[in-house]
Amino acid sequence: MKFAYTILSTLLLISCAQNSEINITPPPTSEKKTKETEVIKKNKINQSDSLYSIYDTIIKLDSSVRIISIPNTKTEWDSILRTLNTKVQSFTITTSEYNIIKGKEGTQILIPKNTFNLDEEVTLKLKESYSKSSYLFNCLSTQTDSGDLLETAGMIELRAYSRSEEIQITKDKEVIIKFPIKGEKKGDFNLFNQSLRKDSIVEWKLYPNGKDGFCLFEIDIKAGIDHVHLKGNRKEFTFLTQKEKDLLARRMQNSISQRFPLLCASSEKKKITFSSRFYEKDKIFYEILSKIANNLDYLGFNIKNKLKADMTINFTFGNPNSEIDIKKYNTIIAERDKLNKFEQRKRLQELVSFYTLTSNKLGWINCDRFPNNSNKLINMNILAETKYEKFIFYIKEYNGALQPFQKKRTFQIKKIPENLLGVIIALKYENQKIYISRKTVKSSLKTIKGFDYEEVSLSQIENKIEEMAKF
């Protein structure tokens, strides 16, 4: 009984201690039988019905895992559950150089020179969380530490190590994180850093400086022998609307874009007009460039008085916190005209696929925005039938997932808008088997209970959650 309680209570936590790596020690090669293996043999346990079959599945999934007996400690069971966590990716960088690392799910992280105050190699460890199942098994909830609801565009865990010791970013330094856009691009995303609840669920704290934005890296003004080349001070385009920023983003490529020319038609002391000659089929973008050109003083260029008729302004855009690699930039400019229209279009499609944010902290990092919902806030209760169940609420209207607080058999989601449509995924552990259930509900004061469970294997559980979380 004690053994069963230990396993079941551990499942309830779903390994919410935020460890970054799986560490299962292989058993000794000795052929001496343990008491546990003797019990298995004596009782002739049916592997298809027992916890042992779960282990057998893990062995097939990962040959590095070797298990010969049923676990009898919390630590062993916790290690098995961690196989469901997002896998850790490792990168080694040289701190004196500009580095870009790319995750398997599309995350790009730009690490400027001397981000870490060390003159040696640093190991970066990355977890990416973009799937529904990863929210559950990485213990992530899309709420702030004050209970405000969030819509996520992706969550990552980034940590740095030097000689096996965890280190932090140098004061006044930041890393640039590019979250791949899954679906339609939306505005107003900010960066949030982790805030750990008492039950080890990760919530979020707004990092106000970690905003997506654009600026002018540099401008090139040419007309005959006249030539003005200036680098910008990286001010953001606060005078542009979000739609205009999104259109500008579609022209971006790894913090460096093509040069976009704008021809000065006439210039007076108080008024400058521009020709649309290059933008007959793209008048909206022409209007954006004109607006930027008329705000050059605000952006810190101070060149309005240098503009004359027939002078061409070449704009180069980027993220305000990015570094420009001049050699790479010149290569892109030199190769640009060699690309056919298909390749140009392909690159433009790649440019729009990121939210670019900055962070001066490591750990769990979230790309989020506050959704518009003015409904009354309530506390939604879910009633468990046993002590050994776990629940998560996936929201239909936007990408979010809420993990409730547990008090005995009651699971409560706090400060949720009323009548919010979503799906509750329930997990249960019983008789050494894992069960899963799905229920479509609207958030209300009515207590939610009565789940129809079906058995699921450890190897199927992630795909099953992804399937059940769909609407």
Over range 111-124, report the average pLDDT: 90
> Selecting from 2.20.110, 3.30.1370, 3.30.310, 2.60.40, what CATH number does the domain 377-468 have?
2.60.40
Over range 414-440, report the average pLDDT: 90
Residue tagged 């169940």 (tokens): 389
pLDDT of 117 strictly over 90? no
**pLDDT (tens digit, 9 = 90+) per residue, 99-113?**
889 999 999 998 988
Write out the H or E segment, with its range, that includes residue 414.
strand 410-417
| 42 close to 35: Cβ distance less than 8 angstroms | no
- Helix ranges (DSSP H) in 294-325: none
pLDDT of 258 strictly over 60? no
Over range 440-465, report the average pLDDT: 92
Tell me which residue of 312, 285, 214, 286 sits closest to 255, measured CA to CA.
Answer: 214
Report residue 47's pLDDT band, with 50, 70 and 90 as the boundaries. very low
pLDDT given for residue 249 in this prediction: 64
pLDDT of 55 strictly over 50? no
pLDDT given for residue 333 in this prediction: 52
pLDDT given for residue 320 in this prediction: 58
- Domain layout of the chain by residue ranges: 23-84, 89-212+357-369, 215-318, 377-468
C-alpha dist (Å) from residue 358 to 98, 108, 154 = 15, 12, 14
Report residue 448's pLDDT band, with 50, 70 and 90 as the boundaries. very high
Give dist(CA 318, CA 254) in Å, integer.
8
Phi, psi of 417 (to 5 degrees): -60, 140
Tell me which residue of 264, 246, 263, 265 sits closest to 317, measured CA to CA.
Answer: 246
Confirm or reject CATH 2.60.220.30 for domain 89-212+357-369, answering yes or no.
yes
**pLDDT (tens digit, 9 = 90+) per residue, 186-205?**
777 888 999 989 888 899 99
Over range 6-28, report the average pLDDT: 41
Alpha carbon dihedral 400, 405, 365, 138, in 10-degree steps, equals -90
Give dist(CA 201, CA 83) in Å, integer.
18
Over range 119-145, report the average pLDDT: 92
Mean pLDDT across the chain, nearest whole number? 75
Give dist(CA 419, CA 439) in Å, integer.
15
Bridge partners (DSSP) listed for residue 194: 204
**pLDDT (tens digit, 9 = 90+) per residue, 263-293?**
988 887 677 899 998 888 788 889 999 998 8
Give dist(CA 337, CA 390) in Å, integer.
57
Over range 227-233, report the average pLDDT: 69
Give dist(CA 72, CA 36) in Å, integer.
9
pLDDT of 184 strictly over 80? no
pLDDT, greater one: 301 or 128: 128
pLDDT of 310 strictly over 80? yes
Give dist(CA 20, CA 127) in Å, integer.
8
